[in-house]
A and B are shown apart, each in its own frame.
Chain A
Amino acid sequence: MKFAVVVFPGSNCDHDCYHVLSEVLGVDTVYLWHKEQDVGEIDCIILPGGFSYGDYLRAGAIARFSPVMQAVRDFACKGGLVVGICNGFQILTESGLLPGVLLPNRGGRFICQDVYLRVENTDTPFTSLFSPGEVVKIPIAHQQGNYYASSGAMEKINNENRVLFRYCGPEGETGVRTNPNGSMDDVAGIISEKRNVLGLMPHPERASEGMLGSVDGKRVFQSVAKWLEEQKHGNK
């Protein structure tokens, strides 16, 4: 089992994701430079947070044209697992690998804080170690995390149970008060139609070590590892 963390110029959570995968989970992990045209023998690709290419135009708008993203697209088309975190989520929507867009936060400001998330669907490669409806705590840190999709697209996403995480309160309640950025339907993370591409604004790598407060995020990576392991042994 091998993970790859993509490095764009301006990525700034690449080291953090690498640390959690290789040091905390102890899985084989490599960096993947943005100019690579071939992802190689990889089982899961992480698009980390940061400000790829400076994000001066619009978050993720330049990164979608990078050579590595063509390779990631091919990898995803073949069913490979992709996790886009924060800027990675923005890049996935800009690339068309996930529907919708991430608009500037309601209020327009950057927000860094812990948020509560309700796990909506645990029957995916990314959430199997959570329980349905469970409330978890994972931090966000972004200025453009206000998810928006056309009403038709949003309806389809909801109907197909593709929202994995929604912003909520400590008891799982949703609404304006518990939605930090104005995101449509409280969306914090969604998966693709083929259920192999996850985009989420919260940073699971920041909630993967007890020393830093929460280990809820670690289960996203562990779920992926478990899923890959099961694939290997043909259990699924």
Chain B
Amino acid sequence: MEISRNEKAAKELGLSDEEYRKILKIMGREPTLTEIAMFSVEWSEHCGYPHSRTWFELFPREGKLSALVGEDAGGIIHDGVAVVFKMESHNHPSQVEPLQGAATGIGGIIRDIFGAGARPIALLDSLRFGPLDDVHSRHVFEGVVDGIAFYGNCVGVPTVGGELYFHPSFRGNCLVNVMCVGIAPRDRLARAWAKGRGNLIIYAGNRTGRDGIGGCSILASQEFGEGDEKRPSVQVGDPFTEKCLIEATLEALDSGKVVGIKDMGAAGLTCSSSEMAAEGKSGMLLDLDRIPLRESGMEPWESMMSESQERMLLCVENGTEAEVMAIFHKWGLEAVVVGEVEDGDTLTVSYRGDIVAQIPARELTSPPVYTPPRRKPAFLEEKNNGSWRDLPGSFDWNEVILRLTGSSNLSSRRPVYRQYDHMVGINTKILPGRGTPVLRVKGKEWGIALTTDCNPVYCSLDPRLGAAHAVAEAARNLASSGARPAGVTDCLNFGNPRKDDRYWYFVEAVHGLSDACRALELPVVSGNVSFYNENPGGSVHPTPTVGMVGIIDRVENAVAAGFMQEDCKVIIAGDTREELGGSEYLCLVHDMEVGPPPSLDLQREKDLQEFLLEVTGRGLVVSASDLAEGGLVMGVVEACLCPEFPLGAELSLEVLGSLREDALLFGESAGRALLSVEPSYVQEVEETAQRHEIPLYMVGVTGGDRLIAKRNSMTLFDLSIKELRIIWEEGLFQSSGIPGGERL
């Protein structure tokens, strides 16, 4: 049977036969080429979440603070202020063109935040690449860092934190997850809808070009190598236009004349127009002849699919359009009326006097849901059998610690974060490299703490447990700084969902996230899914990145991680168990990725959180940090190497119990925090711990210029702080070539 030209086009754009039949049924006729293009992007994995949507119902939507859920960018409400936040991936564009891929990833997520009416105040990047000894991975890494600096610095939103992690599974498919946080008075948030018959639709910002046609929506909906001829162009970012667009949009929203607004992100004009119409339960007429184009001769389907950057679509009250457009013009941006709101529910697109598309908006924005079969990979049982116990438990620890300290995953991140303006906005209270980033909120006593977290090795060994760890560790990060965890955004990076083992990982991880969020009373307010993260060698490690925001009651009490003060007691809160599975130590030193990952007791995590909030809030501790990758030793090393005041410590570890030495030093048991406390406050800290039923272990004292650990008077390691510091500071640029600044 001969297939029609349109059916062929639908296939080329990634629609399945089944989807095409569904479209025929919705339309009751053969769809036009423009309509097919619109369905293909709107129903793509990136925009429509067909393989993931159904699972989001598991996520808790309420927590201790009132939550904003369900619009483009969710958030939490505190003291009349909406803290809006969201994380998004830009993995495939960054792999294809690292600088522009990362840059436009930042641009996109910032637009989500100011499109919701909030002023963006912070960015965090959770980045994962192949190992740095691989030339191409290095190129991608450096390009992504350059892209973040290029776009983020110019646009004037501080990059205050994030993660940077190297692992072979990300060779050929990096992960670039960007989180943006914004604030707005609660009653000033904007809605992403179009309503009110006769109200006008305004297009503002950059012109529409052929760049990035299907950039995100198609790139993110197939694997690399799964048909290279379909690989579309990556979008190009212009941070200057974005900066002007931020100011103009917030000013336009302040005018009170804007009914609704949405950014044109993935799937551009199609997504913004159809979703605004569907959300407002309205129809909309769009006149493509009025769209500002960058080049002539663009077909209607190209205009509807273009992912040109820095564009917004607004719905304004009829009669106020001149006033609103004048604001954009003042900022040197184009703004034109391109359509109007109609009764009904149909999105109608006209071009040169013809109707080129006429689709019920709700149908267009309700893509099919797929829950393909899933299967637990058979090899997991064997991987989690604890075979690390066969290793000798004792080595020359000095040498091992220096190796870990200088490794690409555990060394100082300063060569990277010093390239990002992390202070603009003058809110950053705890700077990157000093602990969990904390920002003040001008005019308020309280502030916010921000973090991102995920351990892909844990998730590859046990996705449910690994995802729960990501939530628990992020919460512990925040609580260590003195902030009460308040809300979660996520960015779920997985392989091809049509492969049953990948899909099993995804569903397990969603369960893990949702269980942990429920137990810790945290709402999931927003999120993003990125599937098809595969390279010829297989899927990336499953990486459900968690972004978390916490509220710190008195921001001046925020606690950093560095010891900073001599003669303080070093205390470990929480038990250290003989758990080495999934650890950075095993990966790096023994090249072993075996489980099981550390156990997780969510009730214990909650108790620890309350304990940390009390001791930080009452000013009883000098420093606090959680223990994670690299275990006790790397936690202590980092606390010793505070950039402002490096300081040694002497530890006696026998109080932690008779564990194997390797597990004692590098095991990553959850539910632990590292504190330093002035001797006069130790008793109060102990009493507080007793009340919260948290075991405390006095392991040593800060001071001196060496880091020494003994166990029953036997020396485990003894290192000079100066040497550790040089190795730590130079580790990353030794392996990457990025200059880390003046040699210490």
Are B238 and A206 in contact, with the CB atoms below 8 A?
A: no
Q: Is B425 an interface residue (CB 8 A)?
A: yes
State whether A19 and B420 are in contact (beta carbons under 8 Å apart), knowing that A12-B155, A107-B739, A178-B742 are contacts in the complex. no
Given that A206-B426, A211-B555, A212-B429 are contacting pairs, would A10 and B421 also be in contact in the complex, using a CB cutoff of 8 Å?
Answer: no
B507 to chain A, nearest CB (A): 41
A residues less than 8 Å from B239 (CB atoms): 51, 54
Q: Is A77 an interface residue when CB atoms closer than 8 A count as contact?
A: no
Is A118 in contact with chain B by the CB < 8 A criterion? no
C-beta contact mask, B132-170 vs A, less than 8 Å → 1, else 0? 000000000000000001000111100000000000000
- Chain B interface extent, by class: 20 to 34
Partner of B243, one of A10, A107, A176: A10
The verdict on A123 contacting chain B, using a C-beta distance below 8 Å, is no
B218 nearest CB across to chain A (Å)? 29
Q: How far is the CA of A205 from the CA of B738 in the complex (A)?
A: 29
Main secondary structure of the interface of B (DSSP, over half): loop
Which of A68-76, A96-104, A109-117, A188-196 sits within the interface? A109-117
Quote the shortest CB–CB distance from A182 to chain B (angstroms). Answer: 11
Which A residues between 127 and 186 are near B, CB-CB below 8 angstroms? Answer: 139, 141, 143, 176-178, 180
Could you tell me the distance in whole angstroms from the C-beta of B440 to the nearest C-beta in chain A? 6
Question: Given known contacts A209-B426, A211-B429, A212-B429, is B240 in contact with A53 (CB within 8 Å)?
Answer: yes
In the bound complex, do residue B422 and residue A112 qualify as a contact, i.e. CB atoms below 8 Å apart?
yes
CB-based contact B742/A10 at 8 Å: no
In the complex, which residues of chain B have a beta carbon less than 8 angstroms from the beta carbon of A178? 742
Question: Is there contact, CB below 8 Å, between B424 and A141?
Answer: yes
Q: B424: which of A16, A19, A55, A113 is its contact (CB, 8 Å)?
A: A16
Q: Quick check: is B289 within 8 A (CB to CB) of the other chain? A: no
B576 within 8 A of A: no
Q: Could you say which of B418, B422, B424, B743 has the most chain A C-beta atoms within 10 Å of its C-beta?
A: B424
**In the docked arrangement, what's the CA distance between A194 and B742, Å?**
36
Check if A203 sits within 8 Å of B423, measured CB to CB: yes
When chains A and B are docked, how far (Å) is the Cα of A109 from the Cα of B740?
10
Chain A's closest residue to B241 (CB) is A54
CB-CB under 8 A from A83, the residues of chain B are none
Check if A47 is an interface residue, CB within 8 A of chain B.
Answer: no
Given known A-B contacts A16-B426, A50-B156, A211-B556, A9 and B332 have beta carbons under 8 A apart: yes
Give the total of A residues in contact with B, Cβ under 8 Å. Answer: 36
Q: Confirm or deny: B717 has a beta carbon within 8 angstroms of a beta carbon on chain A.
A: no
| Majority-rule SS of A interface residues | mixed
Using A9-B331, A55-B154, A178-B742 as known contacts, say yes or no to A111 and B418 having CB atoms under 8 A apart: yes
* Chain A residue at minimal CB-CB distance from B333: A9
How many Å lie between the Cα of A112 and that of B421 in the bound state?
5
User: Closest Cβ of chain A: how far from B255's Cβ, in Å?
Assistant: 17
Question: Once bound together, how far apart are the Cα atoms of A203 and B156, in whole Å?
Answer: 14
Given contacts A110-B153, A211-B440, contact A13 B424 (CB under 8 A): yes
Q: Verify B428–A212 contact, CB threshold 8 A.
A: yes
Q: Is B419 an interface residue (CB 8 A)?
A: yes
Residues of B within 8 A of A16 (CB): 424-426
Bound-state CA distance A54–B206 (Å) is 14
Q: Which residues of A contact B420 (CB under 8 A)?
A: 110, 112
Is B442 an interface residue, CB under 8 A from the partner?
Answer: yes
Which B residues are CB-close (under 8 A) to A54?
154, 238-241
Q: Is B741 engaged at the interface, CB distance under 8 Å to the other chain?
A: yes
Q: Are A112 and B244 in contact (CB under 8 A)?
A: no
Say how far B381's CB is from chain A's closest CB, in angstroms. Answer: 47
Collect the chain A residues with CB atoms within 8 Å of residue B331's CB.
9
Query: In chain A, residues 32-69, which have Cβ atoms closer than 8 Å to a Cβ of chain B?
Result: 49-51, 53-56
Contact check, A110 vs B419: say whether CB atoms are below 8 A apart. Answer: yes
Contacts of A211 in B (CB 8 A): 429, 440, 555-556
A51 lies within 8 A of B240 (CB): yes
Which of chain A's residues have a CB closer than 8 A to the CB of B417? 112
Are A51 and B742 neighbours in the complex by a CB distance under 8 Å? no
The smallest C-beta distance from B428 to any residue of chain A, in angstroms, reads: 7
| A6: Cβ under 8 A from any B Cβ | no
Q: How far is the CA of A211 from the CA of B420 in the complex (A)?
A: 21
Enumerate chain A residues within 8 angstroms of B149, measured Cβ to Cβ.
109-110
Report how far A10 CA is from B156 CA in the complex, Å.
8
Shortest distance between the CB of B103 and any CB in chain A (Å): 13
A141 & B426 in contact (Cβ 8 Å cutoff):
no
**Cβ-based interface call for A200 (8 A):** no
- What separation, in Å, do the CA atoms of A160 and B155 have in the docked complex? 38
CB-based contact B243/A109 at 8 Å:
no
| Contacting residue for A112 out of B241, B423, B555, CB 8 A | B423
Q: Which residues of A contact B556 (CB under 8 A)?
A: 211
Indicate if A119 sits at the interface (CB-CB under 8 A): no
Nearest neighbor of A14 in chain B, beta-carbon distance:
B156
Q: Nearest Cβ distance between residue A12 and chain B, in whole angstroms?
A: 3
Point out the residues of chain B lying under 8 angstroms from A92, CB to CB: none
Rounded to whole angstroms, the CA-CA distance of A212 and B556 in the bound complex is: 9
Q: Please, could you name 15 A-B residue pairs with CB atoms under 8 Å apart, sorted by A? A: A9-B244, A10-B240, A12-B243, A15-B425, A19-B426, A20-B426, A49-B424, A55-B240, A109-B739, A110-B421, A112-B419, A112-B420, A143-B153, A180-B741, A211-B440
Q: What 3 A-B pairs have minimum CB-CB distances, sorted nearest first?
A: A12-B156, A54-B240, A51-B154
In the complex, besides A51-B239, A112-B153, A209-B426, 20 extra interface pairs with C-beta distance below 8 angstroms are A12-B154, A12-B424, A15-B425, A16-B425, A16-B426, A50-B156, A51-B153, A56-B240, A107-B739, A111-B418, A112-B419, A112-B422, A113-B418, A141-B421, A143-B153, A177-B742, A178-B742, A206-B423, A211-B440, A212-B428
